[in-house]
């Protein structure tokens, strides 16, 4: 029986509950629907549940494993956030025997911001001194308080100010923010619960999830398939997870202590205009905890003649006031009205996605696998069957490739109904 750590920020209480029976053997994105809030609620209301769920294969020796999903109602779209990140948090949580963290409520009345410390025995919250600080300033202080054995999930000023496009950073093996929950504004939801950082302390937990010989054999087969199809040979940089073959991270600016995922397709239109501005834009957004991809694409979509005013953006970002970043970030409908463009034209990262791609992402996110390292392996029928063998050995029950596909379909179907604002009792 899986364990879920449930925290009620209204009363400052926490405790473990069992994974609901219908979701036993699920992980990552596939576990989010078990705890999602009603789609008719306001995204920044206390009742909007925030879920962090590591993938099924996190904490194991499987290559490319360790990714973690976040779920909540998006303050950008009103849809269910389906964002995924690397780093060490997913690995640590699985090794601690925690299948998900579920955060409900918010302090009432507000009493300042908090750090949440998660151990294998539960969670505690304590007032934080790093509110309204950029990630590059907050993280060193957090490491000084809690140590380098921990992994950190934290927001920047964007999350503290509940900016709708705020993201959440996750530290990697080098204790730098090597990956982010970038789409959907989950950072704003974390900020609405007055949480600055979640500290995952794995001390006392095993370094890896206990694995059987059958699991190790399946891992060896999957490793060979992943090597044949991985993009590692075409990338430069470093990986965001210890057992991932793809070095996907770009180097941090000197002295900044910030890393960010490469998004060449998303930023190609900026780089063509001014590569230096594109780098500065990404670095500043990452440091402030803002979704650079969503902001850039939305501004591009809404800008006259497709010429985004990047210098104005950078000036506002440097002003350390994300709530005032172009009216777009706080009140996108007013920005659209001012520009004379329908608000429906606002960039939505999921609107362009085909059902096939959504299903593919659901599989990867439920298993907790890196897309660059493993997606081609899973498209191979042998790879999908091998993944089923790994999960069967891990859960000590038979799981087939059909089960994996069916679970992913159910997740995608739930998300589709959520987008339609269909109440859960209908």
pLDDT tens per residue, range 366-388:
999 998 888 888 888 888 999 99
Q: So what's the pLDDT on residue 358? A: 82
Locate the domains of the chain by residue range.
Answer: 18-207+353-419, 263-345
- Angle of the 401-419 helix axis to the 381-395 helix axis, nearest 10: 90
- Tell me the pLDDT of the chain averaged across its residues: 81
Give the pLDDT band (50/70/90) at residue 82: confident
344 is written with which tokens? 């429906």
Per-residue pLDDT tens over the stretch 175-219: 999 899 987 889 999 999 999 999 999 999 999 998 899 999 999
3-state secondary structure of 109: coil
Contact of 353 with 373, CB cutoff 8 Å: no
3-state secondary structure of 22: helix
Given the structure tokens 């059987």, which residue do they identify?
212
For 20, 90, 163, 180, 184, the CA distances from 74, given in Å and listed in that order, are: 24, 21, 12, 16, 5
Per-residue pLDDT tens over the stretch 40-68: 888 999 999 999 999 999 999 998 899 99
DSSP 251: P
Contact of 165 with 295, CB cutoff 8 Å: yes
Per-residue pLDDT tens over the stretch 3-41: 999 999 999 999 999 999 999 999 999 999 999 998 888
Instruction: Say whether the peptide bond before residue 202 is cis (omega within 30 degrees of 0).
Output: no
Angle at 96 between CA 64 and CA 148, to 5 degrees: 80
Range with lowest mean pLDDT among 39-43, 69-73, 81-85, 303-307: 303-307
Any bridge partners for residue 327, and if so which? Answer: none
Residue 288 pLDDT exceeds 70: yes
Q: In 42-113, at which residue ranges do the beta strands (DSSP E only) sit?
A: 50-54, 68-71, 83-85, 100-104
Contact of 107 with 101, CB cutoff 8 Å: no
17 is written with which tokens? 């509950």
Residue 423 pLDDT exceeds 90: no
Return the closest-CA partner of residue 386 out of 210, 223, 211. 223
Q: What is the mean pLDDT of residues 138-156?
A: 96
Homologous superfamily in CATH for domain 18-207+353-419: Aldehyde ferredoxin oxidoreductase, N-terminal domain (3.60.9.10)
3-state secondary structure of 213: helix
Q: Which helix (H) or strand (E) holds 4?
A: strand 3-8
> Long-range pairs for 300-303 at CB < 8 Å and ≥24 separation?
300/269, 300/347, 301/345, 301/346, 301/347, 302/328, 302/335, 302/336, 302/339, 302/341, 302/345, 302/346, 303/339
């Amino acid at each position: 029986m899986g364990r879920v750590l449930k925290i009620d920020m209204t009363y400052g209480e926490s405790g473990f509950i069992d994974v609901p029976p219908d979701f036993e053997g699920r992980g990552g994105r596939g576990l989010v629907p078990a705890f999602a809030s009603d789609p008719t609620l306001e995204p920044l209301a206390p009742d909007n549940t925030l879920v962090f769920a590591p993938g099924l294969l996190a904490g194991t020796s499987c290559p490319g494993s360790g990714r973690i999903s976040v779920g909540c109602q998006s303050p950008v779209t009103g849809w269910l956030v389906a964002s995924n990140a690397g780093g060490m948090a997913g690995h640590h949580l699985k090794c601690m025997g925690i299948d998900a963290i579920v955060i409900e409520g918010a302090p009432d009345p507000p009493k300042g911001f908090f750090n949440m410390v998660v151990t294998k025995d539960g969670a505690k919250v304590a007032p934080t001194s790093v509110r309204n600080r950029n990630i590059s300033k907050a993280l060193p202080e957090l490491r000084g308080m809690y140590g380098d054995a921990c992994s950190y999930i934290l927001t920047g000023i964007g999350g503290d100010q509940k900016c709708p496009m705020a993201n959440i950073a996750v530290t990697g093996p080098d204790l730098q923010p090597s990956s982010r929950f970038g789409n959907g504004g989950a950072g704003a939801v974390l900020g609405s619960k007055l949480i600055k950082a979640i500290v995952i302390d794995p001390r006392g937990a095993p370094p890896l999830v206990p694995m059987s010989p059958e699991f190790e054999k399946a891992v060896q087969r999957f490793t060979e398939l992943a090597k044949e199809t991985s993009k590692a040979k075409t990338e430069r940089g470093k990986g965001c997870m210890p057992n991932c073959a793809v070095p996907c991270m770009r180097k941090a600016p000197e002295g900044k202590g910030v890393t960010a995922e490469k998004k060449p397709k998303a930023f190609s239109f900026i780089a063509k205009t001014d590569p230096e501005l594109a780098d500065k834009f990404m670095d500043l957004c990452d440091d402030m905890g803002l979704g650079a991809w969503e902001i850039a694409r939305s501004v591009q979509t809404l800008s006259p003649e497709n010429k985004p005013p990047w210098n104005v953006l950078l000036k506002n970002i440097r002003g350390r006031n994300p709530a005032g970043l172009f009216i777009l970030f706080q009140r996108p409908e007013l920005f659209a009205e001012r520009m004379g463009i329908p608000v429906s034209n606002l960039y939505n990262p999921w609107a362009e996605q085909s059902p096939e791609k959504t299903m593919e992402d659901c599989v990867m996110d439920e298993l907790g696998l890196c897309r660059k390292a493993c997606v081609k392996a899973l498209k191979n029928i042998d790879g999908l069957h091998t993944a089923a063998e790994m999960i069967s050995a891990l859960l000590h029950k038979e799981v087939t490739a059909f089960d994996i596909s069916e679970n992913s379909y159910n997740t995608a179907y739930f998300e589709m109904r959520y987008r339609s604002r269909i109440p859960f009792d209908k």
